[in-house]
Amino acid sequence: MRTHPHAQPTPAPFDDVRPARRGRATGRAVVGEDPLLRAAYALCRRTTRAHDPAIHALVQLMPAVLRPACWALWAAASALDDLADRPGVEPARRAADVESWTKALEHDLAVGASTDPIRHALVDTAARWRLDLSDLRGAMATTREDARGLRFADWAQWRAWCSREVAPWVEQVRHLFDQAGAPMTLRLDRQADYRHFVDGAQLTDTLTDLSTDLAQGHLLLPREAMEPFPGAEEDLIRRRWSPAVAALIAEMTVLGRRWLTRPAMTRGMHPGAAIVLDTAAGLMRLQLDAVDAAGPTLLARPPRPSVAARARVLLPARLRSAVAWSLTPLTVPAVRPAAAVVVKTSGPGPAAEDAGLRPPPPHRDGARPPHIAADKMPEHVAIIMDGNGRWAQQRGLGRQEGHRVGTAAAHEMVYGALEIGLRHLTLYTFSTENWKRDTDEVTTIFQTVQHELDHGPLRDLNVRQRWSGRPDRLPEDLVHALEREEHRTRDRTGLTLTICLDYGGRDEITRTAAALAQAARVGDVDPRLIGPDDFARHLPHPDMPDVDLLWRTGDEQRTSNFLPWHTAYAELYFTPDHWPDVDRRDLWQAITEYGRRQRRHGAALTSSEHQRPSPHTQPDSRH
Ligand code: IPE
Ligand code: IPE
Ligand code: MG
């Protein structure tokens, strides 16, 4: 429920957009020559200004090269919001429209262009700035659910909704700054300030949009906040101004101001980014003043601060930000040639792209991997990525959504593995037992993997990808894509990523035994002399090293038929978080924990090891 005083129900058809005027930030220097693209960005800018003048003003405080990307992101979020909130349209229909928009975006990202101007600009932004828009899937799924009406019992629920729906979009903007070389790094010791600030921003929005939200059947203030004011909730639902409502609103604006006033938050940040955030806080405090001054009209329309009041905050900020950014050399990606946005008809081509390998994108908070001594570093980490279904169900979403959102966590693990220097990462993606699930769920998992293989962000990292699993039951296209990627990435050296799909440990062992029997039959091995090494040589991937660390998320402590041969001596590590909630820092934590374990492989402890003061100083008994 972002502020949307002049909501446009649907994005304008592409034919209708006006060409961008010369000399604006959508000019050639930033966006390039392509007139369609320039028109698309111009529409995004107008949409941002119409939906939320304050956001538009804040974007103007950013360096000119970043503005088009911000408009594209904001216009896309607003377009989705409008679809979810269209007055007079059935909730189911609105949810379906949000879903089709989201699906269309997936398609557009795959082909690199769109017939819808806002998505066209967004696709261009994603490619230009290397943004991973799959991180937005969870936010889009939440917007779809919003179409059904929102109520929160307490602040925790309200906060969780905000962090699902709004935070991922803000994260994209932060990522944009990172990519441009002006990271909005927040100091760890200021995290609490940051959280309060985000709460303050959300509360300001909630209060501003009270009238429009009530008209849509949403009441976003949590019950916990309304309870101390008996009758206020009922009055709000009936859109009746009463002393209880007035007292509630007064209390909320005080709380909002307290949350927003975080003078220490931006200390140490890049001055340009700090000006943007400080000005945002200033504008939101003005907005809260307008809420206070509105009285009963708060229930009729969103209040607005006066132009003069806004100018008092914005004008000095504009001057200061222009100076701050002029002192910072920004990394600006090359303008994409117009041909790159022409709709492609075939899938991704072969090895030609290998020249363009890129490093993993940095963690969104700028987190860096810990230093791990070489003898404490596992060679092979295998992960049972569990909990997608429960993650989604706990949010009232379909299990499928969990699998879609879980993809972002898989990206994170690969990024984290590359950053910490892991050699082998193996991910359990679909087991031979998972065929017991509904066809819809199985299909979603396969489609998600197929999309990743064809268009995912891991494609141009220094990662050798391969597949382990039964070769005879998966859809033909998927098998083709798995084999194609295995071939295309075969000479890469950074990390070996094995995707276990239709994988079962017993199936692997049975097939290995069959291969060994066949070798014996033709006389290649003598059955009386078969040992573990002969067995290992007949495994589907004989070069896969033993698993050093087996990590399972999702609060289950079992191995579910995963890599029984390779994990015979693995260290086991179980964590409670559901898969979509983890990121690369959790992988680093797992590896750090592994470094503390004492591996003996059946040997006895020596007496000096018994007396060891701390496991950290223990030499690894593997060697
Ligand atoms: C793991 O998540 C992913 C797959 C098995 C494909 P789940 O789908 O098993 O999630 P839960 O265990 O039901 O929460
Ligand atoms: C294991 O998870 C398989 C994958 C993660 C792909 P499951 O959720 O299927 O395992 P069980 O059924 O809980 O053991
Ligand atoms: Mg499970």
**Which atom in ligand 2 lies closest to the alpha carbon of residue 433?**
9
Q: What is the pLDDT of residue 615?
A: 42
Structure tokens at 238: 């009936």
Tell me if 466 is assigned to a ligand binding site: no
Gap from CA of 387 to ligand 3 centroid (Å): 5
Hey, which of 51-55, 586-590, 617-621 has the most confident mean pLDDT? 586-590
pLDDT interval class at 110 (50, 70, 90)? confident
Query: Which distant-in-sequence residues (6+ apart) come within 8 Å of 30 by Cβ?
Result: 64, 65, 67, 68
Nearest CA to ligand 2 atom 8: 386
Q: Whose CA is nearest to atom 10 of ligand 2?
A: 560
Number of compact structural domains in the chain: 2
Ligand 1 mean position, distance from CA 555 (Å):
11
At residue 157, does pLDDT exceed 50?
A: yes
Ranking 80-94, 138-152, 502-516 by mean pLDDT, the lowest is 138-152
Contacts of 481 (CB under 8 A, 6+ apart): 347, 450, 453, 454
Q: How far apart are CA 322 and CA 598, in angstroms?
A: 56
End-of-domain residue from the set 333, 358, 388: 333
Same domain, 32 and 97: yes
Mean residue pLDDT across the chain: 85
Rounded to 5°, angle at Cα 429 from 426 and 435? 140
**Chain centroid, CA 48 distance in Å:** 22
Taking CA atoms only, the protein residue closest to ligand 2 atom 14 is: 560
Within a domain: 396: yes
Measured distance CA(379)–CA(395) in Å, rounded: 36
Q: In the structure, which protein residues have their CB atom closer than 6 angstroms to any atom of ligand 2?
A: 384-386, 428-431, 434, 556, 558, 560
Ligand 2 atom at shortest distance from the alpha carbon of 500: 6
- Provide the pLDDT confidence category of residue 193 given band limits of 50, 70 and 90: confident
Is 583 a known active-site residue? no
Gap between the Cα atoms of 158 and 155, Å rounded: 5
| CA 562–ligand 1 middle distance (angstroms) | 14
- DSSP lists the bridge partners of residue 549 as 381, 571
Tell me, what's the pLDDT at 154? 93
Q: Does 383 lie in the same domain as 280?
A: no
pLDDT of residue 614: 43
Confidence of residue 33 (pLDDT cuts 50, 70, 90): low
Cβ atoms of residues 79 and 102 within 8 Å: no
Ligand 1: atom nearest CA of 384 is 1
For residue range 269-292, what is the model confidence (pLDDT) as tens digits? 788 888 999 999 999 999 999 999
In this prediction, residue 167 carries a pLDDT of 82
pLDDT tens-digit readout, 312-349? 999 999 999 988 888 877 777 655 443 333 333 233 33
The reply to whether 61 and 163 lie within a common domain is: yes
Under the banding of pLDDT at 50, 70 and 90, the label for residue 601 is confident
With respect to residue 622, please indicate whether it lies within any of the assigned structural domains: no
- Reference 133, options 94, 164, 102, 99; nearest CA is 102
pLDDT classification of 15: cutoffs 50, 70, 90: very low
Same domain, 58 and 166: yes
Least confident range of 69-78, 155-164, 327-336, 591-600: 327-336
Digit-coded pLDDT (tens) for 217-231: 889 999 999 999 999
Residue 262 lies in a domain: yes
The SS3 call for residue 160 is helix
Share of the chain above pLDDT 90, in %: 55
Q: What does the pLDDT read at residue 53?
A: 87
Q: Give residue ranges with CB within 6 A of ligand 1.
A: 385-390, 430, 434, 445, 554
Pocket test for ligand 1, best of 383, 384, 388, 553 (most atoms within 8 A of CB): 388
Residue-level pLDDT at 27: 53
Asked whether residue 523 is domain-assigned, the answer is no
- Considering the domain architecture, whether residues 383 and 329 belong to the same structural domain is answered as no
Tell me the two tokens of residue 607.
């007496």
Same domain, 415 and 476: yes
Contact 618, 600 (CB under 8 A): no
Do 449 and 304 share a domain, yes or no? no
Mean pLDDT computed over 580-585: 95
Least confident of 8-22, 76-90, 202-216, 601-615: 8-22
Q: Is the pLDDT of residue 190 over 90?
A: no
Q: Which ligand is nearest to the CA of 430?
A: 2
Distances (CA, A) of 193 to 122, 169, 266, 372: 31, 20, 9, 31
Closest atom of ligand 1 relative to the 445 alpha carbon: 6
Query: Where does 210-259 show beta strands of DSSP type E?
Result: none
On whether 622 is known to bind a ligand per the annotation, the reply is: no
End-to-end alpha carbon distance in the chain = 58
Residue 146 CB-half CA count within 13 A? 29
433 marked among binding-site residues: yes
The Å distance, Cα 450 to ligand 3 centre, comes to: 21
pLDDT at 483: 93
Q: Locate the DSSP E strands across 90-159.
A: none
Interacting residues of 80 by C-beta distance below 8 A, sequence separation 6+? 98, 101, 102, 140, 143
Quick check: 355 pLDDT over 80? no
Active site annotation includes 462: no
241 is in an annotated binding site: no
Residue nearest to atom 6 of ligand 1 (CA): 430
Distance CA 150, CA 85 (A): 11
Catalytic residue chosen out of the listed positions 434, 460, 477, 534: 434
* pLDDT tens-digit readout, 362-383: 998 888 999 988 889 999 999 9
Nearest CA to ligand 2 atom 1: 560
Residues of the domain holding 151? 14-333
Question: The domain that contains 148 carries what CATH number?
Answer: 1.10.600.10
Q: What is the pTM of this model?
A: 0.52
Chain-centroid distance, C-alpha 408: 5
Cα 388 to averaged position of ligand 1 atoms, centre (Å) = 5
Residue 318 sits in the same domain as residue 431: no
Q: Which atom of ligand 2 is nearest to the CA of 430?
A: 6
Higher pLDDT, 350 or 161: 161
Q: What is the pLDDT of residue 37?
A: 87
- The C-alpha atoms of residue 184 and residue 272 are separated, in whole angstroms, by 9
The whole-angstrom separation of Cα 135 and Cα 621 is 40
Residue 533 lies in a domain: no
Question: Of the candidates 145, 290, 270, which has an alpha carbon nearest to the alpha carbon of residue 210?
Answer: 290
* CATH for 437: 3.40.1180.10
Residue 514 maps to a domain: no
> 69 falls in which pLDDT band (50, 70, 90)?
very high
Considering 305, 333, 361, which residue would you say is the last residue of a domain? 333
Per-residue pLDDT at 351 exceeds 70: no
pLDDT digits (tens, 9 = 90+) for 541-582: 988 999 999 999 999 999 999 999 999 999 999 999 999 999
Give yes or no: residues 199 and 139 share one domain: yes
Q: Which ligand is nearest to the CA of 387?
A: 1
Query: In this structure, are 322 and 449 located in the same domain?
Result: no
Q: Does residue 438 lie within any of the structural domains?
A: yes
Distance 360 CA to ligand 2 centre (A): 28
Q: Say which of 235, 386, 502, 548 is annotated catalytic.
A: 386
Whether residue 388 is found in the same domain as residue 329:
no
Distance 405 CA to ligand 3 centre (A): 15
Please report the pLDDT score of residue 144 as a whole number.
Answer: 80
pLDDT tier at 181, thresholds 50, 70, 90: confident
pLDDT tier at 161, thresholds 50, 70, 90: confident
Picking from 333, 355, 389, the residue at the C-terminal end of a domain is: 333
552 is in an annotated binding site: yes
352 is a domain residue: no
Q: Which residue has the higher pLDDT, 352 or 511?
A: 511
Same domain? 180 vs 290: yes
User: Rounded distance, CA 430 to CA 441, Å?
Assistant: 11
